[in-house]
Structure 1
């Protein structure tokens, strides 16, 4: 199944907005799912993560209609890199026992998103683009 960049960017923006809300308002829920104890330190990091997810959501929402260009490629490749690094870190934390098996949902999501953006990037390179 081939996803268009527009569809994938819209989905990613919505996911990032949801994560920003959860990390900002109820980080204890995600940390509980990962078997990580909530503390003032994890709360501080969680709220800062919320701001980063909000920024990513705004970026993907705004770029969703962009035709293939250097800017779109930079955002896409940066996000792919981030997804795969986060997936590797999550897997490492689970293997080392710092996080429970709930983190594997994040690892799977990050891996799928990274692969989906690779597919959308390749599809946009090989297909002529039409206007909105």
Structure 2
């Protein structure tokens, strides 16, 4: 299956924008689904995470029409690695009892996102810098 980089960036960017809005305004939605209580500390981290997701959404929106390049591949690989690590951390937190089984849905989305990003830049080799 060949995924177009433009399409993957559009969908992942939209997901990041949605996460920005959720983490900024209603972080309890995700925290409750993960069986994690809301506190001033989790609220602080949620709002800071919202800023990171907004930045990622902007990068993907601006990068989606870029021609194949080492830079485009590096950004996709970097965010794919971030998603894979988040998935592993989520599973670890569930195993340790710090998060409930609801975090599995996040881990599945993160793994799929990592795969989609890597797949979208691997169907055609990027030119060297």
Query: What range is the shorter-chain TM-score in?
Result: over 0.9
Q: CA deviation at 1:119?
A: 1.1
**Structure 2: distance between partners of 1:70 and 1:118:** 13
Q: Once the two structures are superposed, what CA deviation does each residue of 1:23-60 show, in whole Å capped at 9, x if it has no partner?
A: 00000111001000000000000000000000000000
Q: CA deviation at 1:2?
A: 2.1
Q: Once the two structures are superposed, what CA deviation does each residue of 1:94-126 show, in whole Å capped at 9, x if it has no partner?
A: 111100011001100000111111211111328
| TM-score, with structure 2 as normaliser | 0.94
Aligned pair 1:125/2:125, yes or no?
Answer: yes
- Give the structure 1 partner of residue 26 of structure 2: 26
User: What is the number of equivalent residue pairs in this alignment?
Assistant: 126
SS state at 1:101 partner: coil
TM superposition outliers: structure 1 runs of 4+ over 6 Å: none
Give unpaired runs (5+ residues) of structure 1: 127-132
- Give the structure 2 partner of residue 113 of structure 1: 113
